[in-house]
Amino acid sequence: MTSNAAKNPRITCAAQVGESCPPYARKEILGQIAYRMETKVRLKGNQRNMTKLPILLVSGASGGLGQLVLQNLLDRYCIDPTRIIAVTRSPAKLSEFAARGIAVRAGDFDKSEGLVEAFSDADRLLLISTDADPLQSYLDDVDPMGDPNRRRVRRQAAEAAGVAHIIYTSAPNPEPPTVCFWKRDHFRTEQAIRESSMSWSMLRNWEYPDFHLAYSWAQAVASGHYLAGSGAGRCAFITRKDCAHAAAAALASDFSGKRVFNITGARTYCMDEVLALIAEINGREIEVTHVSPAEMRRRLTERGEDLAPVFTAFHEGMGLGKYDCVSFDFEALTGTTPGSLEDFLRANPVTEEQTNVVFRFADLNS
């Protein structure tokens, strides 16, 4: 006997999601069924005025976060691929998603021409912050405040394309004054969006442990030393995977107001606790040396660490309590709790390859 689920992939999806089906996914599935029934009735009545479900657009879609958001939309929220648009500078990188039926369009924030077209048809837009704006300009010492032109181009293109709701991946506590210089650009982008005619959701993503594991914690496993400027400061790390889940939930929802979400992990950790976990999981003793942020920056710079300004500012921000917050916004958006830092570290033991890096975080000249 062929079950309903086998006949209808959308119902199969609902069954798979089962009890843990997040509220937005349930709504989506019911919405799809209602849409089909309504379409049938209207077609029968020969009416042209059909109800339309929103078109969802992800910009900067080929990055780590963007691809995870697309996966969540398709596999967790069971969004019909014909309702999804991915905008990227590198369409070829998204060929697998194109093969699943997503519309992949070319779009670059540095080229305003074509951006309105790239955003056209979208009702809800996820604007993924770029890695280029603040960091490169800071490192090049060209424009430490980020690129105002890019902010204007993105907002105007979204407005001109008729987007109703914009979701932006921002950063924790971006309001000035902030020691974390990349947040000035996040703050100004938030401002530009607030001044627009669109409704919005700011997703202030806390720190990914993914980034810190790859760029500094793995070095501690290799060397047995870690240099910290964060003192007793604490941070509620949340994985990139969970941030993507939250972004997909916000995009797939029908929220049409204005809201700031703090996307944090379920508990905070100080660096001593993080490094103790990493030491235990990777079977390696790690000595943590605490210095002032200025001294941390001096030592890292001396060793040629390009990201010294970024890491030092993050440690200083942590010491100032800027990351010391546990919010329930992730749960409110997704209906589930975020994964723990410990589970992430256990699932990602430091590899041989990761330890083949220069030990800039080792406290070798204390």
- Applying CB under 6 A, the residues found at the interface with ligand NAP are 60-66, 88-90, 108-110, 128-132, 169, 205, 207-208, 211, 240
What is the spatial distance between Cα 90 and Cα 306, in angstroms, rounded to a whole number?
Answer: 26
- Do 189 and 153 form a contact (C-beta atoms < 8 A)? no
CB of 51 to ligand NAP, least distance (A): 32
CB of 260 to ligand NAP, least distance (A): 15
- Do 246 and 334 form a contact (C-beta atoms < 8 A)? yes
Cβ-proximal residue to ligand NAP, closest one: 63
Of the pair 110, 331, the CB lying nearest ligand NAP is at 110
CB of 208 to ligand NAP, least distance (A): 4
Q: Is 60 helix (H, G, I), strand (E, B) or coil?
A: coil
Q: In what order do the strands lie in the sheet with 56-59?
A: 103-106, 84-88, 56-59, 124-127, 165-170, 199-205, 258-263
Of the pair 110, 306, the CB lying nearest ligand NAP is at 110
Q: Is 181 helix (H, G, I), strand (E, B) or coil?
A: coil
Of the pair 17, 193, the CB lying nearest ligand NAP is at 193
Of the pair 107, 363, the CB lying nearest ligand NAP is at 107
What is the spatial distance between Cα 334 and Cα 245, in angstroms, rounded to a whole number?
Answer: 7
Of the pair 190, 207, the CB lying nearest ligand NAP is at 207
CB of 322 to ligand NAP, least distance (A): 13
Dihedral pair phi/psi, residue 309, rounded to 5°: -60, -35
What is the spatial distance between Cα 221 and Cα 214, in angstroms, rounded to a whole number?
Answer: 11
CB of 281 to ligand NAP, least distance (A): 20
Of the pair 5, 192, the CB lying nearest ligand NAP is at 192
Q: How many CA atoms lie within 13 A of 103 on its CB side?
A: 16
CB of 172 to ligand NAP, least distance (A): 8
- Do 225 and 361 form a contact (C-beta atoms < 8 A)? yes
The structure tokens listed for 267 are 């508990």
